[in-house]
Amino acid sequence: MLLSSAFAALALALSQVRQASAHGGVLNYNIGGTMYKGFTPYNTPVGQISIQREWDTYDPITNPTSGTIPCNTNGANLGANQLSATVAAGSKVIAYWNPWPHTIGPVMVYMAKCPSSCTSATPSSLSWFKIDQAGLISGTLTSGTWAMGQLVSNNNSWTSTIPASLPAGEYMIRHELLALHTSNQPQFYPECAQLKVTGGGSSSPSSSYLVKFPGAYSTSDPGVTIDIYSQPTVTTYKIPGPAVWKG
């Protein structure tokens, strides 16, 4: 009994060390005022019920063209346990991360219309548009304030608004952090969740706003492979991907 609880404590401690030394992702959402629990990584997907797609590791994706860039590793749907949050267009979505260890880099939020049900959709085949982004807020690349730092100061959370003119229907929402604290080695942390948008309008993003994952980014993008430490006087940062579609 004592031995088994000692083992349990050790296993818990090890998993916490592993998660702390790795990085993380979106654990919970507040969608239009309702809290939703995300998928719990490092646990079997069997029996998990969530609006979030499966993601299995706190580790970053370091290649912007990786097959896991759409919705993290492995981005699978939870079958009958895959939920979607019903929310009116124009509502706020707050994503909550674990205590986030990095403060340098942009925050980006995308949505994509699902052809029918989001549960049966393949994230890499969807056309994604950006609904929100923030990069270098003030100061220089080397020592300025970044959106990721604001996220950390704001209870490890980020608030976005679903465009009010978006047509009703099923959408995927994709939150992504791009950590830039390691010179010339980007770290991407995407997670996806499913929404059923109600109300809304009839405005849709034109093709210039739409991207695929992988496809939206390349290693040679100036905002992807960057050495922030060698640019102590530069006060601009080019966030990768398309322009934000405001509806």
Query: Is the CB of 28 or the CB of 124 nearer to ligand NAG?
Result: 28
Query: Is the CB of 30 or the CB of 142 nearer to ligand NAG?
Result: 30
Q: DSSP letter string over 24-78? A: --EEEEEETTEEEE---TTS-STT--BSBPPB--SSPB--TT-TTTTTSSB----
CB of 143 to ligand NAG, least distance (A): 27
Residue type, 225: T
Two tokens at 208?
């210039």
Q: Give dist(CA 86, CA 199) in Å, integer.
A: 11
CA 231 to centroid of chain Cα atoms: 27
Q: Give dist(CA 16, CA 80) in Å, integer.
A: 30
Interface with ligand NAG (CB under 6 A), residue total 4
Site for ligand NAG in 155-214 (CB under 6 A): 155, 157
Site for ligand NAG in 6-65 (CB under 6 A): 28
Query: Is the CB of 26 or the CB of 239 nearer to ligand NAG?
Result: 26
Nearest C-alpha neighbor of 190 from the set 108, 132, 104, 119: 108
Cα of first residue to Cα of last residue in the chain, in angstroms, is 59
Q: Give dist(CA 109, CA 94) in Å, integer.
A: 11
CB of 98 to ligand NAG, least distance (A): 8
Two tokens at 159?
């608030």
CB of 200 to ligand NAG, least distance (A): 27
Q: How many helices (H) and strands (E) does the chain have?
A: 2, 11
CB of 11 to ligand NAG, least distance (A): 24
Handedness of CA 159, 165, 77, 80 (dihedral sign): positive
- The CA-CA-CA angle for residues 239, 244, 247, to 5°, reads 175
Query: Is the CB of 151 or the CB of 197 nearer to ligand NAG?
Result: 151
Query: Is the CB of 94 or the CB of 164 nearer to ligand NAG?
Result: 94
Contact flag: residue 153 with ligand NAG (CB under 6 A): no
CB of 1 to ligand NAG, least distance (A): 34
CB of 99 to ligand NAG, least distance (A): 9
Query: Is the CB of 98 or the CB of 231 nearer to ligand NAG?
Result: 98
Query: Is the CB of 30 or the CB of 127 nearer to ligand NAG?
Result: 30
CB of 157 to ligand NAG, least distance (A): 6
Contact flag: residue 96 with ligand NAG (CB under 6 A): yes
The contact set with ligand NAG (CB under 6 A) reads 28, 96, 155, 157
